[in-house]
Homo-oligomer: A and B are copies of this chain.
Amino acid sequence: MFKTGIPDIAPAKAKRGLLPEKARERLLNAAGEVFAERGYRRATVREICRRARVNVASVNYYFKGKEDLYTDVLEFAYRQARQKYPDSDAAGRGGSTESSLFGFVRLFLLRILDEGRPAWFGKLMAREIVEPTGALDKVIDRAIRPLHESLESLVREIVGGRPRDAEIRRHVFSILGQCLFYRHARPVIARLHPDVRFDAAEIERTARHIAAVALSGMKPRGTAR
């Protein structure tokens, strides 16, 4: 009984950035996989530990428990996604606001649809949005609200004129909705159109389509309202 059982703070956290981090890192990766596949509830710490080739007690040693492991995984996945597809690729760069919109959509799609190595980010977000776990508030503050606000100001620019808040909001939702559908409804899409593959080229075409639809909806025309 050299300790109360749980270290107040994950011990390895201090050494962050060093190479020999094995167990904790493996746990994060394995947990990301399993949480993404099964969701928070259906994921078992035993399977996570099995995949990480680590003892079951480790998750309580390095993290406080399953819940804290999950929030750490969310944070981890968010950083990975941003690192793989940095903001600089598209955000408020030079060029027309119209092309900025396309860039935004493209970047967003890439991040949420990526199926590469750590593909968890999109899946974790999709689940968290539809079925919050208590970590949602943190996710909103860290990831969703900034994204939402930057898109909102973009829309405000494009619509121009005297912007009514409700209309701006609806346009923002239309854009986000079109994008997120490809993530949320993936199981359904796969069954309705088994042939379509969402590789880089298809994502590119999809981004073009969404940006075009959104733009034509926002450009002053007699149709709307």
Contacts and interface: CB of A to CB of B under 8 A. Distances in A.
A210 interface: yes
Interface string A7-20: 00000000000000
- Tell me what chain A mostly uses at the interface: helix, strand, loop, or mixed: helix
A145 interface: yes
Interface string A167-203: 1011101101111111011011101110010000000
Given A181-B180, A223-B215, A191 B137 contact: yes
A23 interface: no
A99 to B, nearest CB: 13
Contact of A185 (B41, B169, B180, B213): B180
Question: What is the total number of copies of this protein in its complex?
Answer: 2
A204 to B, nearest CB: 11
A221 interface: yes
A144 B221 CA distance: 33
A96 interface: no
B144 A209 contact: no
Contacts of A176: 181, 185
Contact of A42 (B41, B180, B191, B216): B41
Contacts of A188: 129, 136, 140, 144
A132 interface: yes
A159 interface: no
Contacts of A192: 140, 144-145, 148
Given A129-B184, A140-B188, A170 B209 contact: yes
A21 B209 CA distance: 52
A212 interface: yes
A51 interface: no
Nearest to A179: B177
21 contacts: A127-B130, A129-B184, A129-B185, A129-B188, A131-B131, A132-B187, A137-B191, A170-B209, A173-B178, A173-B185, A174-B213, A177-B178, A177-B180, A177-B185, A180-B185, A212-B224, A212-B225, A213-B214, A213-B217, A214-B217, A217-B217
| 6 closest Cβ pairs, A-B complex | A177-B181, A213-B217, A212-B224, A177-B178, A170-B209, A216-B216
